[in-house]
Structure 1
Amino acid sequence: MANRVSASIELGGLVTPSDYADLVAIIASEGLSNEWDGPAFGPEDRTEGERLCLYAHEVAGGSFETLEAWCVTHGLAFARWCGGYDCEWNPERVVFTGTGALQFFVADESDRILIDRADIERLGSLEAIFAHFGKADFVVPPLVVADRADA
């Protein structure tokens, strides 16, 4: 049995109505909700003009593998946090801006980004340290469901 922790994810970007239906099915398969310990997410639970925030406890490996892969394939931005599991992994924040590679950041159990002496030496300057925190603080855009021609 996989180790499980609490995790959350924020999604945003443009999806077509048919892609939204696929997205909702994936969210349901992951057992996500709009709130901690809330009811299962349904297609009507999206708020127009806002990013989609989802939560779950007992998440295997602390990630939503199918959902995150789908977002990367469809260029949907996300930021995910997961708690740490004793002696297996630390809490982390993962950011995908909609393009490029996933960015991984060490976090704490309150989703605050952490750096250590090695990070400071690698980053080399106060400006680079602030840029590192800025990347971790990526603001996920609203989730928009529309045909691409209409957006």
Structure 2
Amino acid sequence: MADRVSASITIGGSLSRSSYAELVEHIREEGLATEWDGEPFDAHHRVVGAPLNLYAHEVAGGCFDDLESWCAQNRLPFARWSGGYAGQWGPERVVFRGEGTSTSYTATEDDEIVVAREKIEQLGSLEAVLAHFDAADFAVPPLAVEGDESATAGTAIPRAEGSAHVE
């Protein structure tokens, strides 16, 4: 059996209605909820105008492989936090900005970014260290679905192509 820890993910970006239905299925498959120990996620749990915050305990490997891959394929920005598993891996925050690759940052069990001396030396300056912290503190945009109230008020929501804080 895989090592399991608590993890959370915040998802944002823009989707068509049909893509949102796919996203909901991925979320259900992961057994995520909108609060720690909450009821399983359902499509109506999304809050219009806010990013989608999801949580789970007992997450294999501390990540949501299929969900994160789907988000990257659909260019949906996300930030995931996962706890550490003693002797195997430490806590981390992973950030995907909607394009390119995701970036992993060392974190604490309270989702605070930390930097080891080796990383500070690699970064080379206080400005670079501060930029590292700023990059890790990525603000995930709201999750907008085609047909949301904001779209009917005259602001079109572009469709994604094939695009956290914990307790």
TM-score range, shorter chain: over 0.9
Question: Could you tell me which residue of structure 2 aligns to residue 108 of structure 1?
Answer: 108
Question: Could you tell me which residue of structure 1 aligns to residue 15 of structure 2?
Answer: 15
- Structure 1's consecutive aligned runs of 4 or more residues displaced over 6 angstroms after TM superposition are none
Deviations 1:119-143, CA, capped at 9 Å, x for gaps: 1100000100000000000000000
Secondary structure class of the residue paired with 1:88: coil
Q: RMSD over aligned Cα, in angstroms? A: 1.3
Secondary structure class of the residue paired with 1:113: coil
Give the whole-Å Cα distance in 2 for the aligned partners of 1:87 and 1:122.
25
Question: Could you tell me which residue of structure 2 aligns to residue 30 of structure 1?
Answer: 30
Residue 101 of structure 1 and its aligned partner are, at CA, apart by 1.0
TM-score, normalising length: structure 2: 0.88
Secondary structure class of the residue paired with 1:20: helix
Q: Does 1:126 align with 2:129?
A: no
Secondary structure class of the residue paired with 1:150: coil
Query: What is the 5 A alignment of 1:75-114?
Result: 75-114=75-114
Residue 53 of structure 1 and its aligned partner are, at CA, apart by 0.1
Aligned positions, number: 151
**Among 141, 146, 156, the residue aligned to 1:150:** 156
Structure 2 gaps, min length 5 = 158-167
TM-score, normalising length: structure 1: 0.98
Give the whole-Å Cα distance in 2 for the aligned partners of 1:77 and 1:18.
18
Sequence identity percentage = 54
Secondary structure class of the residue paired with 2:128: helix
Query: Partner letter of residue 77 of structure 1?
Result: P
Residue 150 of structure 1 and its aligned partner are, at CA, apart by 3.2
Deviations 1:90-141, CA, capped at 9 Å, x for gaps: 0000000001111010001000001011011000001000000000000000
Question: Could you tell me which residue of structure 1 aligns to residue 2 of structure 2?
Answer: 2
Give the whole-Å Cα distance in 1 for the aligned partners of 2:72 and 2:108.
25
Question: Could you tell me which residue of structure 2 aligns to residue 64 of structure 1?
Answer: 64
Query: Partner letter of residue 156 of structure 2?
Result: D
Give the whole-Å Cα distance in 2 for the aligned partners of 1:47 and 1:27.
15
